[in-house]
Structure formats: structure tokens, C-alpha cells
Amino acid sequence: MGRVSFPVIIGNPRPRSRTATAALAAARAVAEAAGLSAVPETTDLSELGPDLLRSDPGPDVAAALDRVAAADLLLIASPTYKGTYTGLLKTFLDRLPGGALTGKVALPLLVLGAPQHALAVEVHLRPLLVELGATVPTPGLALLEQDLDRLDSVVTEWAGRVAPAVRGALPAGVSR
């Protein structure tokens, strides 16, 4: 049995964002609640932004795409812009070939400025991940900015709810 490969993709155009903080906290909470042998590793797309639009994006983008291709479990996070995930995240995910997430478990997370955007995680981000072939066995996390001051309790509660489905969806042979 091997260690679970668990990249965390941050789609916020601002470096060191609250989205990144929330995503890493959520990933750690899921790994712990699910009893996984995993160390979540972040890819902050704000660092890759300009390269994502080049016809030959270079080694940093290739390495990020390789981490996604090698993943067992992914957490995909973005702030909500205009009622959905960011264009930066979409640009990165558009670099993946069709079916690239087949056999991978994905967890969507959106940081929301307003409660009326709460469905965006299920209506916009989940279908994108499923289109790429991912298994999305749990509800995504719609995290209101006003709840960031109690981030640990919010992600711990969510992780506890989703951990059984995450464990059950992972491929056989990964460390649990």
C-alpha cells in the first residue's frame, strides 16, 4: 500500500490568499478524518498565472499538471468570482486532456463572499471536475468569508461528514 498523493490546487489569482489557507486546512482535516497516509501539497496557481496562457507553458506548469495526473485525491479550491470559480482555475484545468481525472477522487471548495453563491460549488465546480472524469463522492465545501475566523471548526465538521465517502471512493491499494 502506498501513500495517498493529495495535491491541493488553489485557483485564487492572489498569492498567499485566504483561499489557500482554507484549502490547506480543509485538506489536512480530510486526511486526518479519513485516516489517510497523506500530506496535502499545494499548487498555488497565482504563481503560474502568466505561464498558463503561453502556447508552451514551461516546466512549472508541466510539473503542476503532472502532480494532478499522479494524484489519488485532489482538493480544488477557488474564491467565487462572478458567481463561480476563477478564470485562472479554469485556464489551468483546460490544460488537462479529456478524462485526465478518471480514477481520481476530487473535493471541490469555494470561498464565498455572499451566501447566495453557496450553490456554485455544486452547480459550477463539481460538473467541471466530473467532466474531466473525477469521482466527486461528497458535497463540496462552500465556505463563507465570514466563517474564516472559525476555519478550523468549519473544516473539521465538513471533513468528518465527508471522510467515509472519501475513503470508500479511493482506489484499492492506497494507504488508509
Q: For residue 8, give the 3-state DSSP assignment.
A: strand
> Is residue 79 domain-resident?
yes
pLDDT in single tens digits along all 176 residues of the chain? 468 999 999 999 999 999 999 999 999 999 999 999 998 999 999 999 889 999 999 999 999 999 999 999 999 999 999 899 999 999 999 999 999 999 999 999 999 999 999 999 999 999 999 999 999 999 999 999 999 999 999 999 999 999 999 999 998 766 55
Domain that holds residue 54: 7-169
Determine, yes or no, domain membership for 45.
yes
The CATH number given to whatever domain includes residue 83 is 3.40.50.360
Determine, yes or no, domain membership for 17.
Answer: yes
Residue 175 lies in a domain: no
What's the structural domain count of the chain?
A: 1
Helices (H), the chain: 18-33, 49-52, 59-69, 87-94, 120, 126-131, 151-169
Q: Is 174 a domain residue?
A: no
Whether the full predicted model's pTM is greater than 0.85, yes or no, is yes
- Does residue 123 form part of some domain? yes
Asked whether residue 165 is domain-assigned, the answer is yes
